[in-house]
A and B are shown apart, each in its own frame.
Chain A
Amino acid sequence: MSEAIRIFVPIDAAALSVGAEAVANAIAKEAQARGITVEIVRNGSRGMLWLEPMVEAETPGGRIAYGPVAARDVTALFDAGFQNGEAHALRLGPVGELDWLKRQQRLTFERVGVTDPLSLADYRAYDGLKGLEKALALTGAEIVEEVRESGLRGRGGAGFPTGIKWKTVHDAKAEQKYIVCNADEGDSGTFADRMLMEGDPFLLIEGMAIAAIAVGATRGYIYLRLEYPHAHKALQRAILKARNAGLLGASVLGAGKAFELEVRLGAGAYICGEETSLLESLEGKRAIVRAKPPIPALQGLFGKPTIVNNVLSFAAVPWILTHGAKAYADYGMGRSRGTLPVQLGGNVKRGGLIELAFGISLREIIEDIGGGTLSGRPIRAVQVGGPLGAYLTAQQLDVAMDYEALAGIKAMLGHGGIVVFDDSVDMAKQARFAFEFCAKESCGKCTPCRIGATRGVELVDKIIAGHERPKNLAVLRDLNRLMTDASLCAMGGLTPMPVMSALNHFFEDFDRPPAERLPLAAE
């Protein structure tokens, strides 16, 4: 009896959404029928989502990828000898040589797709916990300095320097401090947090533990959105394993410092991605945005000093500690240091997750890596940075993926999501949607957002219907200015960004003869 052949079938939710579970079952059944011993490892996704379910067979010559595999392909794959890496129409080649992966600089996602996400042994074997071990040998101030020097900026969207936030919490005097992870990844077009939590949950745990050690916090919460049941399961199981292995609990890795970590679920409110409303929600209240100051670093969860960081910010830290701040800062451009996990979605041929140093152009990502639109029609608009991000035209795509470069063209990087639209998109409708979304998801605290969003929907409807267009366009611009200047948080403050970019770059969609379509409100 030969040794079991290892076959990798992703357990990532995106892979499952196109049939990975059925493929895993079919492989197990077919192998048994043929008397072939296989060990099916459920790995994270490599991020080549258009090739999911992508199955890998471990051979002496490395892991060989096949995809997209359907359950009905499995018999033929065994006939061809895929388990030994043999030829088949779905064979993509050795994973490491796939162009999509070769072009990337995977730091945060280095293990995702490679390991079994819930195996702590795998995690250690692939350099896991080195950052935490290093941190335990340093003082809190030294850890904070390392993070500051790396140039890491908050990956949630605001881009605030992580080291400075940590230093504020480090320097605050309090009996209790908290570490809170914002895993309320609500922006359409983003899924990097989800893929990381499903594909390498120990990395997030390690990053949060390092933060706790650095600032002297003993409790942490991961605030996860309810729409991510697979990530929830992965985190729950990983935390349990981490606790059993002494990575969490009364004495982290036996170093005498306590850190307890818990996952808390949201309940379908987009606003909870805003850090102060997230804190209110964690406290059990209506998720109403708080006015700042005081900043959460000084008065955060239950009024205590709190680090609130995005999943990807925490997940970047172990690599920084392991390899040094300079090694991380060597990637990137300008004031955007390190790498950014870019998420390419919408109407795109090859969508997925691409981790790259800052500075690559949008065009390179969308056209070269992404292969253009899925529909094959011309690209008309690209929304970068989620529902509060600007719509760019096909002519603007040479801009670099960099906080400042995008800000320079009145756009924003946000959480690194890119959504591609072909020429069938109606940009007046997209502008209306931006207001509609804001009206539905506003927490209601400040008037510009609560009332402005509803007035915005009405205005766009009037403009579409051809009702006193010049006057209503003037009011729309005025409303946008007011929301930008007077809203309490980014929800109301940035909703004008998609609206104004649609209006400024795609004015023809607001200027059509009204007879072409019914006003949306009349549908």
Chain B
Amino acid sequence: MVHYPAWDQDEARSIVSGLSHLEGATLPILHALQEEFGYVDPQAVPLIAEALNLSRADVHGTISFYHDFRTAPPPRRIVKLCRAEACQALGCDTVVEELAREHGIVVDDHGAPDKAVVETVYCLGNCALGPSALVEGELLGRIDADRIASLCGARQ
């Protein structure tokens, strides 16, 4: 389980200024903030805009475009479940159904922040050993609903 410190505007400012010299620095900055705090607080928008001489709309636009940038603190744990074609061919949709039916886990449902979330992702590059999931940087192959449920901390 990854624990993140609470958002700290001064710390955020120093992360931004440490990376603002890069070419096309926006994404590296957003990744660095999310790695530190688990999300990118909306308070970061004016910081980044000022450091990179961009409009706040540009920065907000970039954050909102990408699926992976979060603007609120992350759930307790994120399990990324592949639901692309190669995993479909090996029954990932059945896994999704079983998670809902047997374990009360609804994929892509962001409930209370203290709960684990199973998120849909399209392809983890493990297409010969699916269905696959990615949990805190660890790739898992040949998974089933029970394995995902246990990663989520059993019944929710």
Real binding pair: yes
Q: Across the interface, do A286 and B65 meet the contact criterion of CB distance under 8 Å?
A: yes
Docked pose: A219 CA to B24 CA in angstroms: 13
Q: Across the interface, do A13 and B26 meet the contact criterion of CB distance under 8 Å?
A: no
* Chain A positions within 8 Å of B67 at CB level: 267-269
Residues facing B in A219-257 (CB within 8 A) are 219, 226-230
Is A186 on the interface with B (CB-CB < 8 A)? yes
Is B7 on the interface with A (CB-CB < 8 A)? no
Chain A contact surface mostly:
mixed
Residues facing B in A378-417 (CB within 8 A) are 383, 387, 417
Is B140 on the interface with A (CB-CB < 8 A)? yes
* Chain B positions within 8 Å of A456 at CB level: none
Q: Across the interface, do A345 and B130 meet the contact criterion of CB distance under 8 Å?
A: yes
Is B139 on the interface with A (CB-CB < 8 A)? yes
Stretch at the interface among A31-39, A59-67, A207-215, A347-355: A347-355
Is A142 on the interface with B (CB-CB < 8 A)? no
* Chain B positions within 8 Å of A351 at CB level: 127-129
**Interface residues of A, count at CB 8 A:** 59
Residues facing A in B10-56 (CB within 8 A) are 23-28, 30-31, 52, 54
Q: Across the interface, do B27 and A264 meet the contact criterion of CB distance under 8 Å?
A: yes
**Interface residues of B, count at CB 8 A:** 45
Docked pose: A18 CA to B140 CA in angstroms: 6
* Chain B positions within 8 Å of A190 at CB level: 123, 125, 127
Is A259 on the interface with B (CB-CB < 8 A)? no
Is B142 on the interface with A (CB-CB < 8 A)? yes
Q: Across the interface, do A267 and B23 meet the contact criterion of CB distance under 8 Å?
A: no
Chain A residue at minimal CB-CB distance from B132: A17
Beyond A17-B140, A433-B88, whether A267 also contacts B125 by CB under 8 A is: no
Task: Write the A274-294 contact mask toward B (1 if CB under 8 angstroms, else 0).
Answer: 000000011111110000000
Docked pose: A257 CA to B91 CA in angstroms: 52
Distance in Å: Cβ of A250 to nearest Cβ of chain B: 18
Q: Across the interface, do B27 and A346 meet the contact criterion of CB distance under 8 Å?
A: no
Distance in Å: Cβ of A498 to nearest Cβ of chain B: 9
* Chain B positions within 8 Å of A268 at CB level: 66-68, 121
Is B79 on the interface with A (CB-CB < 8 A)? no
Q: Across the interface, do B128 and A49 meet the contact criterion of CB distance under 8 Å?
A: yes
Q: Across the interface, do A346 and B90 meet the contact criterion of CB distance under 8 Å?
A: yes
Point out the residue from B23, B25, B68, B85 that lies within 8 Å of A387, measured CB to CB. Answer: B85
Task: Write the B119-146 contact mask toward A (1 if CB under 8 angstroms, else 0).
Answer: 0011111111110101001111110000
Stretch at the interface among A78-86, A418-426, A461-469, A478-486: A418-426
Beyond A191-B126, A346-B130, A347-B89, whether A17 also contacts B139 by CB under 8 A is: yes
Point out the residue from B25, B30, B122 that lies within 8 Å of A188, measured CB to CB. Answer: B122
Beyond A16-B139, A185-B125, whether A347 also contacts B66 by CB under 8 A is: no
Chain B residue at minimal CB-CB distance from A286: B65
Docked pose: A190 CA to B130 CA in angstroms: 12
Q: Across the interface, do B121 and A281 meet the contact criterion of CB distance under 8 Å?
A: no
Q: Across the interface, do A383 and B85 meet the contact criterion of CB distance under 8 Å?
A: yes
Beyond A17-B132, A285-B58, A419-B85, whether A187 also contacts B123 by CB under 8 A is: yes
Residues facing B in A1-20 (CB within 8 A) are 13-14, 16-18
Is B86 on the interface with A (CB-CB < 8 A)? yes
Is A116 on the interface with B (CB-CB < 8 A)? no
Given contacts A49-B129, A189-B123, 7 further A-B contacts (CB under 8 A): A17-B142, A18-B142, A50-B129, A194-B125, A268-B66, A284-B54, A346-B127
User: Which 3 interchain pairs have the tightest Cβ spacing?
Assistant: A351-B128, A284-B26, A345-B127
Beyond A17-B132, A190-B127, A226-B68, whether A420 also contacts B89 by CB under 8 A is: yes
Is A314 on the interface with B (CB-CB < 8 A)? no
Point out the residue from A18, A50, A283, A383 that lies within 8 Å of B24, measured CB to CB. Answer: A283
Docked pose: A189 CA to B142 CA in angstroms: 15
